[in-house]
Amino acid sequence: MELKNYQSKVIQDLETYLNYIKQYKKTDQSFNQFWEDRIGSYNALTGEGMQPYKNTIPNAANVCIKVPTAGGKTFIACNALHTVFSAYPLSMPKVVVWLVPWSNLLDQTVAALSSPDHPYRQKLNSLFNHRVEIYQKKDLLQGANFNPSIVQKQLSIFVMSFASLRAKNKEDRKVYQENGQLASFASFFKSSHHFQDDTEETSLINVIRNLQPVVVVDESHNAESALSIDMLRALNPSFVLDLTATPKNNSNIISMVPAIELKKENMVKLPVIVYNHHDRTAVVNSAFHLQRRLELLAVEQEKTGGRYIRPIVLFQAQPNTGDENVTYEKLKKQLISIGIPENQVKIKTATMDELKGIDLMSSTCEVRFIITINALKEGWDCPFAYILASLADKSSAVDVEQILGRVLRQPYVQKHKNYLLNVSYVLTASVKFNDTLQSIVKGLQSSGFSDNDYRGVDMMERMDNSEQIIIENKQLNLTDTVDIETEIDLQNLNFDKASVIEPVVNHIEKVAFEQSETMQQLIASQKTQINDDHIFEEMGEKIRRYRLIEQHKKHLIDLKLPKFYLHTTQNSLFSTGKISLSQEPLLNQFKLSNEDIKIDFNTTSSDLYKVDLEEVGKNDFDARFSKIEDLMFREPVVAYIMSKPPERQIKDIVHQLMKIIGDMYPIPDQEIRLYIERVLSSLNPEQLQDILTRKDDYSKKIKARIKHHADGYAEQRFNDMIKLGKINTEPAWTFPEQTVPGNVGASISKSLYEREGTMNGFETTVISAVSALQNIVFWHRNLSKGKGFNINGFKSNHYPDFILYTKSGRIILLETKGDDRDNSDSRSKCRLGNKWAELAGEKFNYFMVFEQNQIEGAFSINKSIELIKEL
């Protein structure tokens, strides 16, 4: 199981934040700068920008990831642990406290993280070299396979509930009591200052505190009370990672996933079709017919090679303040009385659980109807749930937000052949339909979605020449003469499987088709947007946007900047025979094993970093990264690894280096691993020991060498394919209507947008001189990191600094280089830029400009201005 595109972006955001911490040393400054560079500084008056860091847990970096329901938060967290611990020193124990709000979610999490066959555990094993142990509270209290020696050698995850740390009862108080089973930790922490006042040193809470764990808070919106904050502080964490679909005001969000990203990856059934009926009998009838329609489609799909699906209806029964048992038990009896087999109907409420021990995903399971009130909250997971049918009193707004998220998860995380199997349905009978819609919007929001993700239809039947009148998105103005039905009319229910699908279901299908098409068009349109556009939309008015200057718009009507395209074999009706070029196809025959291992380690610096706490005020500490000046923290682990046989030493060191080097897609991890083994095999024991003490610097050297080999091979293939006519340029990239540069630079005349992005001194000097030329119509500060135009080719990160437009209609890409820059990367970028200009056509030019020391194919600032003046 690999990360989805949006999940990878979340991990990249986390890694970027950790790099900011390494640079700025302070969690708050790092967070604030992280967002300032991305969207601009925070403005308290307008609310634009990201609010400053909230130091809720003073002794830890505390950040939040916003992911909608069904977005794979647990899998993201598994990968995030590797990213976080890669920033820690090797000597620090890899200990995690994984907090969940409910017992059922605790059981699910333990099962998933413990099972060798589960994708979550498989990913953890892969990332942590199969040294992973999962503990529950009872395991820790008993000291079961839990001691200082074991903790130092593995990733240890303590899965606990919020309640178990709040000491409300005798069982929970054991966490704070003396425990002889944990006595071995006493000497291990003998010089520690992390003990909690008035608590025994051998208590579990003090063991956890001294291990300074990384804390993962699942569904963290449930842990925002003062009591919960105190609970988190009591754990003395070094890092807190919040996971939630609905972050609270005191959350420090570093990454957010819009709902549309889940739909792109087929994680959720969107849009939600909300259909309001005239009474509860009609709701039940539609539920029967719609379930049968979906199941027939699922059966047909399975016959043609699709996977097994058995669509399920969730009946939300009417709560009864007197005796609620009557409500849901009566409904079950009614359903059985009209012919539904008893084994197809189950009740799941706070007091009755007929689903216990049943695998709803099994093909041998018969359950098709589940009756609940609001017991199916977070933690209940069955992708076969398609229809939420609310049977609340029609005179009130239908309160469905608590369980709406239960019908959103997409079976098998894949798009199904029939569009009806890719959306979810809410059936209601409410006079106050607008209020019901607000409840549904609230439910979507609590699951991390928005009011753009549903389609509401209000239906009222009148017998007028058998015509059915449909009123969309309007509240029904029913008069006192309308019969407000309070009971389900069993005589009018039709569960005959041979009966014709009723007209209402036909209309639901029509609406589902129209809305599915609309959402697919939206997804298609986003393919041309810059990477962060959807995140900017998610943040709404917090983002400061700058518009195109009106007088320049006429020049952009038909203007598209060329991109490189690779011609491929057209092997299907849907293949275009060409793809936008990237490094991936250029490296499809690249073998790292054929490349040399010559790396100069003599210039490796000795700077290392560790997580530490620094006092920033009286009794106030902040998590900082500081240089390690001595070896006392790493010596035990170094000695442990170096005591092993040589081949085992190399494998352990390779694992450490691989964690730091990370993904180098499209180069397979296995090839990188074998390359590092070749490098290490050529070193002596003293050099191997030095790598362990300075692994960050050695990793950087090795990664740079691998990248050098890959870039060289990709450039050679690129030139070969151009010679063969397999690569050309085609118009593709357009200027967006608005830009989000983050911090803005100096206001210089002839800019394309109201404001342009920030520039350094040399860049400002160059563009000031260029903009003063008479032939320049406009200039634009091209944005990097997916926001602007990049020259795609054998390098993927070449975003020229400026785009110029002249009166003759020429486009000029301008890349500036100060004399302090390393010219190795500049040379390849210059070759790529000049090749782009050569193939793009006579209206396109490329200039790489140096202050003084230009390279081959580049120009000095004076020479470039002289030439640009003539274009």
pLDDT (average), residues 561-566: 93
- DSSP classification of residue 558: T
pLDDT (average), residues 275-301: 88
Write down all domains in the chain, each with its CATH number in brackets. Answer: 60-257 (3.40.50), 261-462+500-527 (3.40.50.300), 592-715 (no CATH), 734-870 (3.40.1350)
SS3 427: strand
pLDDT of residue 165: 78
DSSP string, 572-631: STT--SEEE--HHHHTTT--GGGS------TT-----EEEEEEEEETTEEEEEEEE--SS
pLDDT (average), residues 391-402: 58
Read off the pTM: 0.74
Q: Label the pairing between strands 424-428 and 385-390.
A: parallel
Confidence grade of residue 633 (pLDDT, cut at 50, 70, 90): very low
Examine the pLDDT at 58 and tell me if it is beyond 90: no
Confidence grade of residue 619 (pLDDT, cut at 50, 70, 90): very low
Distance of CA 40 to the CA centre of its chain: 22
pLDDT (average), residues 687-705: 85
pLDDT of residue 849: 93
pLDDT (average), residues 643-667: 81
Q: What's the 3-state SS for 662-688?
A: CCCCCCCHHHHHHHHHHHHHCCCHHHH
Examine the pLDDT at 314 and tell me if it is beyond 70: yes
List, in sequence order, the alpha helices (H) in 236-382: 259-264, 280-303, 324-337
**Of the given ranges (123-127, 395-399, 567-571, 705-709), which has the lowest mean pLDDT?**
395-399
pLDDT of residue 865: 93
pLDDT of residue 559: 93
DSSP string, 351-387: S-BTTTT--TTSTT----EEEESS---TT---TTEEE
pLDDT of residue 454: 59
pLDDT tens track for 723-747: 999 999 999 999 988 888 888 888 9
Examine the pLDDT at 635 and tell me if it is beyond 70: no
Cα–Cα distance between 24 and 21 in angstroms, integer? 5
Cα–Cα distance between 263 and 422 in angstroms, integer? 9
- DSSP classification of residue 52: P
pLDDT of residue 611: 41
CA angle 422, 425, 428 (to 5 degrees): 175
Q: Are 78 and 269 in contact (CB under 8 A)?
A: no
Question: Higher-confidence residue: 246 or 467?
Answer: 246
Examine the pLDDT at 7 and tell me if it is beyond 50: yes
Cα–Cα distance between 276 and 273 in angstroms, integer? 10
pLDDT tens track for 853-866: 778 899 999 999 99
Confidence grade of residue 814 (pLDDT, cut at 50, 70, 90): very high
pLDDT over 70 percentage in the chain: 78
**Of the given ranges (190-199, 401-410, 479-488, 770-779), which has the lowest mean pLDDT?**
479-488
pLDDT of residue 551: 94
Q: Are 40 and 787 in contact (CB under 8 A)?
A: no
pLDDT of residue 120: 93
Examine the pLDDT at 575 and tell me if it is beyond 80: no
SS3 92: coil
Q: Are 81 and 96 in contact (CB under 8 A)?
A: yes
- Both ends of the chain: CA-CA distance in Å? 53
Q: Which of 136-150, 599-613, 803-817 has the highest mean pLDDT?
A: 803-817
User: Closest Cα partner for 494 from 278, 286, 280, 277?
Assistant: 286
Cα–Cα distance between 15 and 23 in angstroms, integer? 12
Question: Higher-confidence residue: 542 or 571?
Answer: 542
Examine the pLDDT at 794 and tell me if it is beyond 60: yes
**Of the given ranges (428-437, 529-538, 539-548, 748-757), which has the lowest mean pLDDT?**
529-538
User: Closest Cα partner for 284 from 229, 345, 241?
Assistant: 345
Cα–Cα distance between 380 and 653 in angstroms, integer? 41
User: Closest Cα partner for 196 from 175, 214, 182?
Assistant: 175
pLDDT over 90 percentage in the chain: 33
Distance of CA 518 to the CA centre of its chain: 24
- Within 8 A by CB and 6+ apart from 576, the residues are 570
Read off the amino acid at residue 820. Answer: D
503 is written with which tokens?
């007209």
* Mean pLDDT over the full length of the chain: 80
Q: Which residues pair with 216 in a beta bridge?
A: 98, 241
pLDDT of residue 613: 40
pLDDT tens track for 221-267: 766 666 678 888 888 999 999 998 888 878 899 998 888 888 888 88
- 145 by Cβ neighbours in 10 Å (0-12 / 13-18 / 19+) ranks as exposed
Cα–Cα distance between 420 and 301 in angstroms, integer? 12
Question: Higher-confidence residue: 428 or 136?
Answer: 136
Confidence grade of residue 140 (pLDDT, cut at 50, 70, 90): confident
**Of the given ranges (6-15, 178-187, 608-617), which has the lowest mean pLDDT?**
608-617
Confidence grade of residue 800 (pLDDT, cut at 50, 70, 90): very high
pLDDT of residue 312: 94
Cα–Cα distance between 106 and 751 in angstroms, integer? 56
Examine the pLDDT at 395 and tell me if it is beyond 70: no
Q: How far is CA 437 from CA 287, 445, 485, in A?
A: 19, 12, 21
pLDDT (average), residues 171-198: 76
Cα–Cα distance between 359 and 382 in angstroms, integer? 9
pLDDT (average), residues 553-567: 92
Cα–Cα distance between 41 and 429 in angstroms, integer? 48
Cα–Cα distance between 371 and 389 in angstroms, integer? 10
pLDDT (average), residues 472-488: 37
- DSSP classification of residue 201: T
